[in-house]
Amino acid sequence: MSTLADQLEIRQLVAKYNRAFDYRDPEAWVATFAADGTFAMGGKQLAAGHEALLAFARKMIPTMKVKHCTTDAIVEVQGNSATHDAYLILVDTGEKVSVVNSGRYLDQLVKVDGAWKFKSRVVEIDGKM
């Protein structure tokens, strides 16, 4: 059974993920994942494990001036595992602020040493699937 505290902690994790990427902190972004966590987008796994996630983050984060906005989250917790399903709105914060993409996050989470982490994070981009 899900507790409100677990749901709030998972939503806080999502916010930390968003801000780490948007404010250019690859190490903080990786810290949101379990040691064997994976990241996938467009049907392709882009990184697995902290080392590969960090390499991915260091390559991608400097190339983007964006804000990740997540909304309409559905969080389901069963013991030390959980799912998180939320909409994504990606805003370009460069010279002309505009929405550049939308999609959905489909996440599997696990509790590691009392803290929620992404086991897998899958991004489905609208119009690309």
Specify the pTM: 0.92
- Tell me how far CA of residue 82 lies from CA of 88, 115, 118, 119, 126, in angstroms: 19, 12, 9, 9, 24
Give the C-alpha separation, 21 to 73, whole Å.
Answer: 19
User: Can you tell me which residue has the tokens 């507790």?
Assistant: 3
Q: What is the pLDDT of residues 65-100, one digit of tens each?
A: 999 999 999 999 999 999 999 999 999 998 899 999
Q: What is the CATH number of the domain that holds 56?
A: 3.10.450.50
Residue 117 binned pLDDT confidence (cut-offs 50, 70, 90): very high
Give the C-alpha separation, 7 to 32, whole Å.
Answer: 15
Structural domain of residue 46, as residue ranges?
A: 4-125
Give the C-alpha separation, 76 to 109, whole Å.
Answer: 10
Domain count of the fold of the chain: 1
